Homo-oligomer: A and B are copies of this chain.
């Protein structure tokens, strides 16, 4: 299987192996020896003939046989030569060395050379600028990190080596077990898609975590996630896309980050779990590592301390996903028999400060067949038999999540120590369980009849006119083909020739130099008669020259909505809708859909949106928005070669059809 030899090599060569354990090559050799790897090990270094009782070769070419995996850990300038030497000797190479695209243009050139050598020599190349690979089952630690974890079900793919160090250090403390680890660094050849493929099929991997700074092959990644997430949870922590963050990413792994909101929409629509906070990612990883399943958004709290019970209740009450479970009257009766009189039988169930394991056990038994997840809060009070209580939780029914949280300093396996972390975990668990059970729908794509030739003519006309933006007329003609109503428009000549002119009208410049007409003064509202119109035309021409002008009747304002589409460089076409007008920024909600769009997912997402709430308040049916989006999605699928489409605004009314006011279609 592809990549199998990265994790299960029969033999490993280390180019740059050294007796000096302060050197990267020395560390890697030490780690491989220390972890207990049972395959052949070949140190490669012209300076030595032997390292730690192992025969050392001056060059990989001098090896009598071929080797399953080669790790290169020498200065960047000498890597290309070493890589060339690998051709024919191996198919799998990890370049640990740094100093490539992350350091600027010289490094970038060097990295390009690596790619060429790898391609021509048929090498699966991991890195450069990475920390190596690990397979815990196989006891292979081919990294220069300080930790080798215990065995378990988590596999990790990360763009940052140091993250692996930090995570493993953290995991050691929380006793989280790992299966495979790959650090992908600059991703010159192998990337997240390749490893997702491998880990998907790996039976020891129960949950897959990614730390990514960039996503390269967006569409393939999404397609893979869609399949894998039906079998095991895929967690993706991605650094954001502020300007400075992107600069930092560029100098770290030489990658361009792409738009995080699009990545989030794409990953979530494929059933992956997207995280933009490190702490949430770690909490969810810990949760899934425990193998617990969440089968309801409801949470029942058991506590031996009132205060923390209050705080936990408060957190759930203000959560947008989790809910407090109700304790039924029957259960209350059962509880009343088992608990002391002073105990509180409502959720949070207060077992009182003197609760021992037995009391927790009794309550867990009562709720054993209940779907609600159970969070057991334990504080150390005098007499608390903590270890016994944790045993009770460890043995609790596996049918639904039953999570102990010990509020204090000590750390125990599969036990949380922060309320916030437990709820992050449960939230991710519930999200995953919903996604897993979601039925996939095949998106419908309708080929618009006669569209292609018209579209091609429009492109030609636009380019011939030395424009990138289609004229408003051209844009409306395309939009009319999907059955969207738009506000009629006239050139000054057309308008003045009309027999029946209705005022007031709006006058605007239709030129792609003036995409933001309003700010520049190229948009005049409320022109009430012909004299005023002629005066405004004169004024605008005096100011801006002889540009194309458009006149539209001024209509009753509806709810301003923005509908748009663009080609994302990573994920391809995306559709967007959001609130227009002055509230856009404050509501700050972009509903993004990555093609191919499944209609029920669009429905689901939109029904929970703020935009839907506003529409409801205005008495506008959400279906009218869905209809518009479906039409625009279809237009996008037909309109190959466009770069950006903006319908801004489109007015929605409670009692009439949506009306597109301004339409821009922009070519690349």
Chain B residues within 8 Å of A172, by CB: 409
Bound CA–CA A162/B408 (angstroms):
10
Chain B residues within 8 Å of A102, by CB: 306
Is A613 among interface residues, defined by CB-CB distance under 8 A? yes
Is A307 among interface residues, defined by CB-CB distance under 8 A? yes
Chain B residues within 8 Å of A245, by CB: 310, 313-314, 317
Is A342 among interface residues, defined by CB-CB distance under 8 A? yes
Binds B, one of A115-123, A343-351, A498-506: A343-351
Is A144 among interface residues, defined by CB-CB distance under 8 A? yes
Chain B: minimal CB distance from A290 (Å): 17
A240 touches B314 (CB 8 A): yes
Asked, given contacts A165-B379, A166-B379, whether A160 binds B306 with beta carbons under 8 Å apart, the answer is: yes
**B-contact 0/1 string along A127-168, CB 8 Å cutoff:** 000000000000000001111000000000011111101100
Binds B, one of A6-14, A457-465, A581-589, A640-648: A581-589
Bound CA–CA A637/B253 (angstroms):
62
Is A173 among interface residues, defined by CB-CB distance under 8 A? yes
Choose among B307, B347, B617 the residue that contacts A213 (Cβ–Cβ < 8 A). B307
Bound CA–CA A610/B582 (angstroms):
11
Chain B: minimal CB distance from A68 (Å): 24
Choose among B165, B585, B618 the residue that contacts A582 (Cβ–Cβ < 8 A). B618
**B-contact 0/1 string along A345-375, CB 8 Å cutoff:** 0111010010000000000000000000000
B409 touches A173 (CB 8 A): yes
Chain B: minimal CB distance from A250 (Å): 10
A244 touches B165 (CB 8 A): no
A418 touches B279 (CB 8 A): yes
A379 touches B583 (CB 8 A): no
Chain B: minimal CB distance from A522 (Å): 19
Query: Which A296-347 residues have C-beta < 8 A from chain B?
Result: 304-311, 313-315, 317-318, 324, 342, 344, 346-347
Is A251 among interface residues, defined by CB-CB distance under 8 A? yes
A162 touches B582 (CB 8 A): no
Chain B residues within 8 Å of A318, by CB: 240, 242
Bound CA–CA A305/B253 (angstroms):
11
Chain B: minimal CB distance from A381 (Å): 6
Chain B: minimal CB distance from A167 (Å): 9
Bound CA–CA A475/B379 (angstroms):
55
Is A420 among interface residues, defined by CB-CB distance under 8 A? yes
Chain B residues within 8 Å of A379, by CB: 162-163, 165-166, 169
Is A248 among interface residues, defined by CB-CB distance under 8 A? yes
Bound CA–CA A247/B171 (angstroms):
38
Is A490 among interface residues, defined by CB-CB distance under 8 A? no
B160 touches A247 (CB 8 A): no
Chain B: minimal CB distance from A27 (Å): 5
**B-contact 0/1 string along A267-288, CB 8 Å cutoff:** 0000000001111000000000
Bound CA–CA A116/B409 (angstroms):
41
Asked, given contacts A103-B342, A162-B305, A248-B346, whether A311 binds B145 with beta carbons under 8 Å apart, the answer is: no
Among residues of B, the one whose C-beta sits closest to the C-beta of A304 is B162
Is A410 among interface residues, defined by CB-CB distance under 8 A? yes
B166 touches A249 (CB 8 A): no
Is A382 among interface residues, defined by CB-CB distance under 8 A? yes
Bound CA–CA A317/B239 (angstroms):
11
A22 touches B383 (CB 8 A): yes
Choose among B171, B239, B277, B384 the residue that contacts A310 (Cβ–Cβ < 8 A). B239
Bound CA–CA A24/B239 (angstroms):
51
14 contacts between A and B (CB under 8 A): A165-B380, A166-B308, A166-B380, A174-B409, A213-B307, A213-B310, A240-B318, A242-B314, A245-B313, A248-B309, A248-B348, A249-B310, A279-B419, A586-B614
Chain A residues packing against B (C-beta within 8 Å): 21-22, 24, 27, 98-99, 102-103, 144-147, 158-163, 165-166, 169-174, 211, 213, 239-240, 242-245, 247-249, 251-253, 276-279, 304-311, 313-315, 317-318, 324, 342, 344, 346-348, 350, 353, 379-384, 407-410, 418-420, 582-583, 585-587, 610, 613-614, 617-618
